[in-house]
Amino acid sequence: MFWTLIAAVFSGLAGAGIAMALRKLSGNRLPKGIMPVFAGIAMIAGTVAQEYSWFPNNLDDLPPDAVVLSTREQQAVYQPWTYVQPWVRGFIAFAPSETVETMEGSEVYVIQAHIRERWQPAIIRPVLVDCARELRFDIAADTTFDDEGRPEGLSPVGDGPDDPVIPSVCAAS
């Protein structure tokens, strides 16, 4: 958020500089009030550009085969342009190349869920997906597995085709 503020300040300075140059080119026929107007417009435009470019820039940081499982879009009264096109505030993705089967033929896969949220640190969380039973589990370091590669003592946190993670992982594996 600090860099967003710095970028807004420099956008404002650039906008005021453009207005000052236009004023000089017009022989000072443009009013002095044009400088704060241009500064404000440039600050808003710079902030909007940063908001809308955040999602594609973060996707570039992930492996090339990354699959977006879900997105969280932002709309706000104080950002009226978001009612035309909401910007992505956060998303969850996984990369099939990072997926590991717990035991060959078990159809139980561990994925690295990449959880990204604007202005928050990135989180990578291991998630277990049982494709045969259509279940999803959060796993920890002390999770144990039976002889078939299935987790023991875990309660599912998602199930069925309505869960956005299960169909995506099972189709990619």
Residue with tokens 């990449």: 114
Q: Check if the beta carbon of residue 54 is closer than 8 Å to that of residue 87.
A: yes
Residue with tokens 């291991």: 126
Return the amino acid letter for 97: S
6/89 Cα distance (integer angstroms): 20
173/127 Cα distance (integer angstroms): 14
Residue 9 binned pLDDT confidence (cut-offs 50, 70, 90): very high
Is 0.85 surpassed by the pTM of this model?
no
Digit-coded pLDDT (tens) for 50-101: 999 999 999 999 999 999 999 999 999 998 999 999 999 999 999 999 999 9
Long-range pairs for 60-67 at CB < 8 Å and ≥24 separation? Answer: 62/93, 62/95, 62/114, 63/95, 63/97, 63/98, 65/95, 65/96, 65/97, 66/93, 66/94, 66/95, 66/114, 67/93, 67/94, 67/95, 67/96, 67/168, 67/172
pLDDT the model gives residue 149: 81
Whether 145 shows a pLDDT value over 90: the answer reads no
Q: Which two tokens stand for residue 91?
A: 């998303």
E-strand ranges in the chain read 67-74, 87-94, 100-101, 108-117, 123-130, 135-138, 144-145, 151-152, 158-159
